[in-house]
């Protein structure tokens, strides 16, 4: 236990002695973990939005701007008479503006002030659900052919776009994380290698009095793991801060239930710190084995 305390203390001292390189290691590894966490959260939120969209068996039908509300209601009656239409809900321009306010959130609702009444540019619309989605194209064509209908908005198109965005973010994120991981390992390994080289006389003395390679490895493994733990803790904190700032600024809480990071923050912190410690340990092992193989057996004169 006494030896372990000594080795732990030596590892932490190494971080302070090579603090510039240690800070660089923490910064790069933290960036890697932060990007990984951000990509995972983004993907989870995209999947949450997709499940909401895919579960919404409906399309939005927009009426032309120059069609008065009474005529729009008559168009609704025509739509309801179609065989495959299960429900047809009228959404007036005013109701559309209320939905828009909910969508942008209270923080950004001021941007819509003055756009009510005659200044409301939103069209009247209908939210329609179908009995049989296999007849979607046929039904959509019949609705579009009704005089006064401007266009229809298919939620499946939104789901396809979300899938495409998720795929791009996943692929780009994967490449960046791999690149940053390699850079992190390189910097951590070099930081520890520099620390070992600066302690070569001490290591040589330890070897000459019979210290094992395992005993020599521990302080540098501790250095790598503590560096990784610090990077993981900082990355988790920044992820929490940035996530809620982005969510609040974009006003997307009104669109779908975003992932509640507060509820999973404890496992997120633990996972990031564990991942950082593993990265740090791996970087340390690479450096230590390289040093011991090439220079660890040499006896430095003094």
Kindly report the number of other CB atoms within 10 A of residue 108's CB atom.
14
Lookup: tokens for 93: 């321009």
pLDDT at 195 over 90: no
Residues 139-187 have pLDDT tens digits of 888 898 999 999 887 666 666 777 787 788 778 878 877 887 788 778 7
In sequence order, which residues have a C-beta less than 8 Å from that of residue 59 and are 6 or more positions away? Answer: 127, 128, 130, 140, 152, 153, 154, 155
DSSP sequence for 61-79: EEEPTTS-HHHHHHHHHHH
- Mean pLDDT, residues 235-241: 93
Closest CA to 204 of 289, 300, 302: 300
Q: Which residues of 275-287 are buried (b: 16+ CB within 10 A; e: fewer)?
A: bbbebbbbbbbbb
Residues 260-270 have pLDDT tens digits of 888 899 999 99
Q: At what angle do helices 19-54 and 213-250 cross, to 10 degrees?
A: 50
- Is the distance from CB of 41 to CB of 259 less than 8 angstroms? yes
Lookup: tokens for 14: 């190494």
Residue 237 binned pLDDT confidence (cut-offs 50, 70, 90)? very high
260-266: long-range contacts, CB 8 A cutoff, minimum separation 24: 261/41, 265/236, 265/240
Q: What is the C-alpha to C-alpha distance for residues 232 and 175, in angstroms, rounded to an integer?
A: 20
- Mean pLDDT, residues 243-257: 73
pTM for this prediction:
0.63
- Mean pLDDT, residues 279-299: 74
In sequence order, which residues have a C-beta less than 8 Å from that of residue 158 and are 6 or more positions away? Answer: 53
pLDDT at 228 over 50: yes
pLDDT at 254 over 80: no
Kindly report the number of other CB atoms within 10 A of residue 63's CB atom.
25
Kindly report the number of other CB atoms within 10 A of residue 96's CB atom.
18
What is residue 146's predicted lDDT score, i.e. its pLDDT? 92
SS3 145: coil
What is residue 302's predicted lDDT score, i.e. its pLDDT? 45
Lookup: tokens for 125: 């619309």
Q: Which residues of 151-176 are buried (b: 16+ CB within 10 A; e: fewer)?
A: ebeebeebbeebeeebeeeeeebeee
Residues 40-82 have pLDDT tens digits of 888 888 777 776 666 666 788 999 988 888 888 899 999 999 9
**DSSP character at residue 109:** G
What is residue 52's predicted lDDT score, i.e. its pLDDT? 67
Residue 204 binned pLDDT confidence (cut-offs 50, 70, 90)? confident
More confident residue, 90 or 165: 90
């Amino acid at each position: 236990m006494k030896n372990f305390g000594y080795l732990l203390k030596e590892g932490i001292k190494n971080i302070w002695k090579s603090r510039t390189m240690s800070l660089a290691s923490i910064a790069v590894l933290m960036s890697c973990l932060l990007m990984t966490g951000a990509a995972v959260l983004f993907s989870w939120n995209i999947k949450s939005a997709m499940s909401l969209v895919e579960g919404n068996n409906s399309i939005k039908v927009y009426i032309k701007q120059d069609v008065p509300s009474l005529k729009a209601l008559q168009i609704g009656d025509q739509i309801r008479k179609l065989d495959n239409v299960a429900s047809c809900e009228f959404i007036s321009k005013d109701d559309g503006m209320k939905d828009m306010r909910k969508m942008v959130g209270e923080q950004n609702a001021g941007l819509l002030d003055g756009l009510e009444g005659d200044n409301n540019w939103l069209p009247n619309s209908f939210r329609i659900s179908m009995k049989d989605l296999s007849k979607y194209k046929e039904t959509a064509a019949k609705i579009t052919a009704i005089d006064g209908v401007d266009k229809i908005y298919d939620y499946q198109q939104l789901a396809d776009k979300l899938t495409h965005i998720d795929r791009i973010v996943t692929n780009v994120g994967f490449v960046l994380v791999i690149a940053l991981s390699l850079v992190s390992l390189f910097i951590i390994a070099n930081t520890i290698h520099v620390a070992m080289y600066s302690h070569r006389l001490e290591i040589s003395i330890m070897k000459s009095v019979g210290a094992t390679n395992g005993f020599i490895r521990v302080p540098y493994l501790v250095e790598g793991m503590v560096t990784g733990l610090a990077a993981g803790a900082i990355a988790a904190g920044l992820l929490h801060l940035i996530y809620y700032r982005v969510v609040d600024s974009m006003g997307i809480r009104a669109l779908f239930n975003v992932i509640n990071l507060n509820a999973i923050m404890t496992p997120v912190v633990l996972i990031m710190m564990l991942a950082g410690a593993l990265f740090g340990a791996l970087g340390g092992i690479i450096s230590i084995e390289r040093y011991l193989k090439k220079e660890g057996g040499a006896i430095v004169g003094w």
